[in-house]
Amino acid sequence: MTKMFRLTMAQLNSAVGDLSGNADLARMAWRTARDAGADMVALPEMFITGYQTQDLVQKPAFVADAMAHVMALAADCADGPALAIGGPQVDDGRLYNCYFILRGGKIVARMKKHFLPNFNVFDEVRLFKSDAISGPYTVNNGPRIGSPICEDAWYPDVAEAMVESGAQILIVPNGSPYFRNKFPVRMNTMVARVVENNVPLVYLNMVGGQDDQVFDGGSFVLNRGGQLAVQMPILKSAITHVDFQETDAGWEAIPGELAPVPDDIEQDYNVMVVGLRDYMRKTGFGKVLLGLSGGIDSAIVAAIATDALGPENVRCVMLPSEYTSQASLDDAAAAADALGVKYDIVNIAGTRAAVTEALAPLFGDLPADLTEENIQSRIRGLLLMAQSNKFGEMLLTTGNKSEVAVGYATIYGDMAGGYNPIKDMYKTRVFETCRWRNANHRDWMQGPAGEVIPVAIIDKPPSAELRPDQKDEDSLPPYDILDGILTMLVDEEASVADCVAAGYDRDTVKRVEHLIYISEYKRFQSAPGPRLSHRAFWLDRRYPIVNRWRDDSGA
């Protein structure tokens, strides 16, 4: 009789600090595995605590509480399949990122992470200690299993050492957050591990939003030669059973379901939806509001919010001034109507007049300038925050990455709020995403199908409407030029000379560079938003607020 081993892959959504809730998810997955006759159920890296914990994991009481929950899981799941779960543990006074194999009421094996990532959004060298490479373990007289923990599988060393020590299958628990086009990078890297070691590999990733990061799932199983045997869904909690059989050539996975992998624009949009939905759920908010201006940024944020939370939980507010055009009033109303969300109007003319009058003795005959424009934005921020406080709705901000990068936003004005779904999306990408959403609808969207962002909003020139006939291009380069320069300076850390060599005007590049640097203090105080690129503002890109260096290359 052919020897078989059934593995249950639990691609689930944990919450940082919700130890009992995360443990309950693990129990649910274990019961599902038991009912399916599985030999083992595997959960992702650091699942018991949620990920990333940042400095919370340095609190001894937190780590002790996490271990108490792990031991309670071991006791509760003693009679049935083995349970593999990630969590922190202190050993000889050192803190480790571990992967525990629970069976028969106790920890029967423990992996310790060897390679600690210390780049992009990761600070694990600061938090954990590296340990020697762990050996393989066996469950229910099945195959010998090696479990490189996330980063351990991105280098040949750990997988090779485990296989040389007898591992016949590699099960890799991950807490790997999304950035655009990361999935093929993961796949190619894991294929390399399979080819190098000639054993099947299980890549198990967590799913769900945590602050600015979204874990996109997409777990998979590879057979020898890099053959894809199982593909789990992207950005969706799921449990999948995988059967391995022992053959003359060794263990191999019996092919199963291959979920589709969407293109990058759909994944970006889904990440923004999941990021907002989980941020709301995990912080305890149920409803949002936002200022709907009749412009494209607030329109796409309204669509994201509706798809994440449902139209009944989204309220849009138009706050017109004397500079607000009738077209913007009409477009905002049309966008709210298309989404089916509540729509209110709060006119700021009286408040603006009162503020102008209050400041008149101080401002005297000084000419009106950016100060007066910013007053309008700050009045809107004040009135929106008042509504947020009164009605218990989280205020969403609506600045895209282009604006966030160059400071084309008013601090304590349109930057006021608790979360920004489009913080890491350049303006040109916003236009593309609006067109995509109008043409596409998915079952994970709670908003309606069809044209939810009026074409008039997409087609008109962007404007803050803080003075007569104002256009964004009065203050900024055209967005296709601006975004090209920003992509190089921010995402690629290119030099001014690199930008000039790429065909951009040096004076324009220098102006954009200057705006990036002097706006750092605004970003330091800005709301979080989902990471879409590999170089998002905050953990990916950490620059000093006070910085007098400028790049003089490219002259």
77, 98, 112, 113: the active-site residue: 113
DSSP 449: S
Find, among 547, 481, 470, the residue nearest to 508 by Cα: 481
Is residue 294 marked as binding?
A: yes
3-state secondary structure of 421: coil
Is residue 134 marked as binding?
A: no
Is residue 93 marked as binding?
A: no
* 469 burial level (CB within 10 Å; 0-12, 13-18, 19+): exposed
What ranges in 460-505 are assigned the alpha helix state H? 479-486, 496-501
Residue 52 preceded by cis peptide, ω within 30:
yes
Adjacent-strand bridge partners of 84 = 42, 101
Known catalytic residue: 460? no
Is residue 398 marked as binding?
A: yes
CA distances from 268 to 72, 298, 356, 401, 429 (A): 38, 17, 42, 14, 10
Is residue 50 marked as binding?
A: no
CA gap 284, 21 in Å, rounded? 14
Is residue 364 marked as binding?
A: no
45, 151, 373, 393: the active-site residue: 45
Backbone dihedral angles phi then psi of residue 228, each to the nearest 5 degrees: -75, 120
Residue 380 CA from chain centroid, whole number:
28
The three-state DSSP-derived secondary structure of 339-395 is HCCEEEECCCHHHHHHHHHHHHHHHCCCCCCHHHHHHHHHHHHHHHHHHHHHHCCEE
CA gap 172, 150 in Å, rounded? 6
Is residue 265 marked as binding?
A: no
For 26-74, the DSSP string reads HHHHHHHHHHTT-SEEE--TTTTT-S--GGGGG-HHHHHHHHHHHHHHH
- Cβ-Cβ contacts under 8 Å for 366 (sequence gap 6 or more): none
Is residue 423 marked as binding?
A: no
Is residue 392 marked as binding?
A: no
Backbone dihedral angles phi then psi of residue 383, each to the nearest 5 degrees: -70, -35
CA gap 445, 366 in Å, rounded? 51
Is 277 in contact with 308 (CB distance < 8 Å)?
Answer: yes
Angle of CA points 322, 527, 179, to nearest 5°: 120
Is residue 403 marked as binding?
A: yes
Known catalytic residue: 45? yes
Is residue 522 marked as binding?
A: yes
Known catalytic residue: 150? yes
Is residue 176 marked as binding?
A: yes
Query: What residue has token string 């350049």?
Result: 426
Is residue 293 marked as binding?
A: yes
Structure tokens at 358: 């209050």
Strand ranges across the sheet with 201-205: 137-138, 144-146, 169-174, 201-205, 220-223, 227-231
Adjacent-strand bridge partners of 4 = 245
DSSP 258: B
3-state secondary structure of 248: coil
CA gap 5, 243 in Å, rounded? 6
98, 112, 124, 150: the active-site residue: 150
* Known binding-site residue numbers: 176, 182, 291-298, 374, 398, 403, 522
The binding site for deamido-NAD(+) comprises 374, 403, 522
Known binding-site residues for L-glutamine equal 176, 182
Instruction: Summarize the annotated binding site for ATP as residue ranges.
Output: 291-298, 398
Instruction: List residues with catalytic annotation.
Output: 45, 113, 150
